[in-house]
Chain A
């Protein structure tokens, strides 16, 4: 019910924006306005105070993969800078029951700060009950536990700017096809806030900002494993497509295989997330024109900083967002650094 309310409010904001042809805006889990992370800073005196405090921190991740590992690394580096020891790290394999067990387990160590991305916000109240009871400063990534009160139960939510990503995706599409053309729009057909908002913002931008581009085909993707069928059907029915929007990079890799199979070298792909095979295609002059990424590493840095600020009694805004960026073949190294704070994989460096 609460999840429905949250999603309802987020979608309502978006729908209202669309209905009035106004640009969508990123809002937090409870409709809070977004604050750029750069506004959260600690003075030298505060850092010294933290270093003397013998504070500890723990992570209860949803799952660890390249994006979340970059977030985790950002948080670890920031904690090290602030003299806060990381005492435990867990991952839940996207299982909310496992995540609750993990939170209960790490709370045996009484960490001062707990950073977590909730697997299931609807189950958040029970998942994080042990952390609230244990007095840990709880910092969420991406989404907050439903029913939790900012400033009382949790410090803040640090997230990517979803609307910012959607805007950049449309901007990259416009650049890829020179402001004119017919495109196919494949969206994530599931009730999932992150992808729903990114997809809808992309579409809004194309329809309202880039009027030279026309969406001539659209299809929902419920199961990423079936993306080949969706892309094949779309290309069969619309042989004159100039480009495709694919909601994230993993299915985009499968779409690439369909394009290669059919010899469609001129159809561009715009997608989201840094992904090695798709980036390799981009560097090699393949179909991929651009990848849109968020500053994952910075999400971790500012989540850690927000928890530390809360330990010092500082008020932190409820919803902090990091920037989004467009990565193309020309800025692949800088883009990888800005997003993940690491060099691109060796295969990409070799291909350049």
Chain B
């Protein structure tokens, strides 16, 4: 009797030590994958082409999600990254059209530069002017949507440079699509910086307790400016990936990604109020969202049914994820 109680206690102690929250996204991903694999076994879901498509389609969201992990981990939020995508893509496309002989470097510089600049402005307003990031980025989101519309008077700009569209869109290296390479590089770098560097530790410390971090010598304002610049630059990169893939840039790019990316990051184990996060979790969360979109379409559901089911599944995933975190 006493030995069984001791064993039960040990089991409970083991369970309590395993942080279930870290695994919600992986279990969810696997469950959804298995469900679609069975239900859609004759509908092309498991074909290599479809699975690669899911990754390619999700690539810009994954890149944005990495930036958001840094922002949320530092206890801030960025609502403007979707709008930065469009502005960056349009800046890149316009720069390439203006200087076609140097399309690749000017496109990259304009796209990433625009993202960095907007991120810097967001960061300065939050860290140095001390305005709430929710309100700052809500305002810049609206402002940038207007800028994106007025930049080209609602027209789309073709992106025709083959080198650019190859690197950021349809190209491949050793048979690996360039978008997949961008995802691998961004996730590896993001994960390493987040987990292995002093900067990553300072980001987490800032999100955990900004006051204590400041007292312990961490330059909290600088960290905050940096994380918004990272988010901006990655949104800029997402803009380049969209324009490379579509071979055109338009003001609508990235507009619909905001909620999906936030949900992916939360489901992936990043706390909304800072101090904890996971780049790998965000990757899996974003892939899960992409797989969900793909599978629901292949199931032949009507558009409204797709929206309802997707909403319910995201709600369930976020609820389970947040409940686990609350324990």
Q: Is the CB of A108 within 8 A of B156?
A: no
Known: A97-B60, A105-B293. A87 touches B247 (CB 8 A): no
B interface footprint on A190-204 (CB within 8 Å = 1, 0 otherwise): 111000000000000
The contact string, 1 if C-beta is below 8 Å from chain A, for chain B 294-319, is 10011010111010000000000000
B-side interface size class: 35 or more
Chain B, Cβ-Cβ closest to A61: B303
- Interface segment out of the listed B44-52, B214-222, B272-280: B44-52
Contact, CB under 8 Å: B303 / A90: yes
Question: If the complex has contacts A96-B156, A97-B253, A190-B153, are A108 and B303 also in contact, measured as CB distance less than 8 A?
Answer: no
Known interface pairs A95-B252, A95-B255, A104-B57; A126-B246 also in contact (CB < 8 Å): yes
Task: Flag if B303 contacts A89 (CB, 8 Å).
Answer: yes
A92-132 near B? 1/0 per residue, CB < 8 Å: 01111110111011101110000000011011011100000
A108, B245: Cβ atoms closer than 8 Å? no
- Pick the contact of B248 from A61, A93, A96, A108 — CB < 8 Å? A96
Hey, which chain A residues are within 8 Å of B102, CB to CB? none
CB atoms of B155 and A108 under 8 A apart: no
Asked whether A109 lies within 8 Å of B44 as measured between CB atoms, the reply is: yes
- Residues of A near B250 (CB, < 8 A) are 96, 120, 122-123
Asked whether A64 is an interface residue with its Cβ less than 8 Å from the other chain, the reply is yes
Q: Are B252 and A105 in contact (CB under 8 A)?
A: no
Q: Contacts of A120 on B, CB cut-off 8 Å?
A: 156, 246, 248, 250, 252
Interface size class of A (residues with CB under 8 A): 35 or more
The answer on a CB contact under 8 Å between B297 and A105 is: yes
Q: Does A88 contact B (CB under 8 A)?
A: yes
The distance in angstroms between the C-alpha atoms of A98 and B290, with both chains bound, is 11
Contacts of B297 in A (CB 8 A): 88, 90, 102, 105-106
Q: Does B242 contact A (CB under 8 A)?
A: yes
Query: In chain B, what residue has the closest Cβ to A102?
Result: B297
Verify if A254 is at the interface (C-beta below 8 Å from B): no
Inside 8 A of A86's CB, which chain B residues have their CB? 300
Give bound CA distance, A335 to B262, whole Å.
Answer: 45
B158 touches A191 (CB 8 A): no
Could you give 14 example pairs across A and B, Cβ below 8 Å? A1-B160, A86-B300, A88-B297, A89-B303, A90-B297, A95-B252, A96-B246, A101-B57, A101-B293, A105-B50, A105-B53, A108-B53, A190-B153, A192-B154
Interface on A for B, CB 8 Å cutoff? 1-3, 61, 64, 86-91, 93-98, 100-102, 104-106, 108-110, 119-120, 122-123, 125-127, 190-192
